[in-house]
Structure 1
Amino acid sequence: MGLEPRTLELFYDVLSPYSWLAFEVLCRYKNIWNVNLQLQPTLIGGIMRDSGSLTAMRFLTVVKMEHPRMLEKVSRELWMRIWSRDEDITEPASILAAAEKAGMSMGQAQELLERVSTPQVKNKLKETTDTACKYGAFGLPITVTHLDDETHMLFGSDRMELLAYLLGEKWMGPVPPAVNARL
């Protein structure tokens, strides 16, 4: 019988290309390292005071609240729009296009987009951002590990080797062989 998965939290904003790197690597390693990866959409503007991703991050927050299984795919599509195709992520039509490309129905996406300005969604994003700040965030991404009643915060996407060490796991580069075989 295997060990219970350890919990990792990734606080990220799709406005951060470094968050994207950490996101992709941790998504590749979550099964290899037997970790419960908890994605935490966080407003980098709440940490760094200037950002254009407020609506996108509120949208990801409501996706997490209502359709958590879609969060990984929708997050990836927003990153692809801004950092791979140099497309907008601030306009409602752009967010809807990313959600649809991720496999969400247009009706679902429209319903969620209509909720991004509700107090419930605003408060949840603020709460997540405040939590990142309490962990000591001064930028994004941060990865928080919860091991044996200890919490470790790592800043940046270039700390994966250190994360592997903390978890007692092997770092096999950004594309581990098990994932590389599927690509």
Structure 2
Amino acid sequence: MNHITFCFDVVSPYAWLAFEQLPQALRGLSWRVDLRPVLLAALLKHHGQLGPAEMPGKREWTYRQVLWQARQLGVPLQLPAVHPFNPLPLLRLALACGSEGLVNRHVAETVLRHVWTSGGADANDPARLAELRQRLAPARDPDSDEVKAELRANTDAAIAAGVFGVPSFLTDTHLFWGLDGLPLLRARLEGDPWFDGPDWHTSAQRPAQQRPR
């Protein structure tokens, strides 16, 4: 069976919305989805970027947009008390419940809901994290070197595959980014020939003018 790798970080509200919409985007298609946690901060650092919530103006727009999109999609979403926050405890907890860098849908949904459907609570509140860990009962220690290395390996592999943000969807030959990339992903999986044509393959093959100094 063909498969899609869904790269996500729980710090991203778009990852939560895309996670909820992915089953609908894949309805009627036979594709396995591998859920792979990655560290968005490391992707941004590699590419020399800031996250949208780290830039004044864009930060406010991001929150307004995701709240609107959630409303339009009928997906529950409440902004956590603090954002951005350090997602490492949640990413490592998720990976400690899985194996070989992957997590199952229940684990991914549980950690994402912990952040985005909490009624505005702090995602890193120690009591909430302890309760979540007890509920998920990870087979491995989330703070182990093994789990930490797994998250680094996931992130390094995503960077090597060209991933620059989350959510990202990797097929055998194409990368799709963002909640609004789901219609493109669907079209590709349905065999739309556009994705093998010049508009896809030559779009980046043009020089960029140097920025004025």
- TM-score normalised per structure 1: 0.71
Distance 2:35 2:91 in 1: 12
Q: Is residue 159 of structure 2 the alignment partner of residue 133 of structure 1?
A: yes
Deviation at residue 77 of structure 1 after TM alignment? 2.4
Quick check: 1:65 aligned with 2:133?
no
Task: Provide Cα deviations, 1:141-165, integer angstroms capped at 9, x if missing partner.
Answer: 110012xxxx211111111111111
- What does residue range 21-100 of structure 1 map to in structure 2 within 5 Å? 21-30=17-26, 32-49=28-45, 52-65=86-99, 71-84=104-117, 85-98=119-132
Structure-2 change in CA distance of 1:32 and 1:64 (3 Å): farther
Answer 1 or 2: which has greater strand percent.
Answer: 1
2:35/2:108 contact within 8 Å kept: no
Shifted more, 78-87 versus 129-138: the winner is 78-87
Give the C-alpha shift of residue 25 in structure 1.
1.8
1:142 corresponds to: 168
Provide structure 2 residue ranges, at least 5 long, that are not aligned to the other structure.
46-83, 193-213
Where structure 1 has 5 or more consecutive residues not aligned to the other structure, the ranges are 171-183
Shift of residue 81, structure 1, vs aligned partner: 2.5
Aligned-pair identity (%): 26
Residues 96-135 of structure 1: pairs in structure 2 closer than 5 A = 96-98=130-132, 104=136, 108-109=137-138, 112=140, 115-135=141-161
Q: How many residues align?
A: 152
Residues 38-86 of structure 1 show CA distances to partners (whole Å, capped at 9, x for unaligned) of 00011112213585101110111111229x7x73223222222322222
One-letter identity of the residue aligned with 1:117: D
